[in-house]
């Protein structure tokens, strides 16, 4: 329970909210928020969902449950219909994905070249 409380406190502080502000936003008593953050009170399922929705995170994030990740190769990715990549609430087009991929490749090459030059200069 303490780790969940710490996660709730981190989220609240990251959003620059006081305990009073968060309690008011969620429609719960501030003593409940204090209880959760101190680990003295177990977070109810309904409040866990309220917190996740409010902070726009998953319940698993608050519970610190690891989610399996999927690797997505943007260069060899053929079926864009199965994934919806979004930036600023706008889906990315195939052209934008290609631009992002190219940008990242160039940036990585420049970084690698800079590191090589730093190593050679140090010798």
CATH number assigned to the domain comprising residue 47: 1.10.260.40
Q: Are residues 1 and 59 in the same domain?
A: yes
Within-domain flag for 119: no
* pLDDT reading at 121 higher than 80: no
> What is the model's pLDDT at position 68?
67
Within-domain flag for 108: yes
> What is the model's pLDDT at position 28?
95
Q: Are residues 52 and 12 in the same domain?
A: yes
Do 51 and 11 meet the contact criterion of CB atoms below 8 Å apart? yes
SS3 70: coil
Q: Which helix (H) or strand (E) holds 3?
A: helix 2-14
Do 8 and 36 meet the contact criterion of CB atoms below 8 Å apart? yes
pLDDT tens across 14-55, in order?
Answer: 999 999 999 999 999 999 999 999 999 999 999 999 999 999
Q: Are residues 52 and 2 in the same domain?
A: yes
Tokens representing 41 are 């009170």
The residue range of the domain holding 95 is: 77-114
Confidence of residue 78 (pLDDT cuts 50, 70, 90): low
Average pLDDT over residues 60-75: 77
> What is the model's pLDDT at position 93?
84
pLDDT tens across 82-108, in order?
Answer: 677 888 888 888 888 889 889 999 998
Confidence of residue 74 (pLDDT cuts 50, 70, 90): confident
> What is the model's pLDDT at position 98?
85
Q: CA 99 to CA 106: how far, in whole Å?
A: 11
Q: Tell me the C-alpha to C-alpha distance, in Å, between residue 69 and each of 63, 72, 83, 119.
A: 17, 9, 14, 35
Within-domain flag for 50: yes
């Amino acid at each position: 329970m303490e780790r969940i409380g710490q996660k709730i406190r981190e989220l609240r502080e990251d959003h620059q909210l006081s305990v009073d502000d968060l309690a008011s936003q969620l429609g719960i008593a501030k003593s409940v928020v204090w209880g959760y953050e101190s680990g003295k009170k177990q977070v109810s399922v309904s409040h866990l969902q309220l917190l996740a929705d409010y902070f726009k995170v998953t319940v698993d994030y608050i519970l610190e449950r690891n989610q399996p990740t999927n690797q997505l190769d943007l260069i060899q990715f053929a079926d864009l219909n199965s994934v919806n990549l979004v930036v600023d609430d706008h889906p990315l087009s195939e052209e934008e994905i290609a631009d992002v991929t190219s940008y990242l490749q160039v940036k990585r090459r420049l970084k690698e070249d800079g590191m090589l030059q730093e190593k050679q200069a140090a010798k």
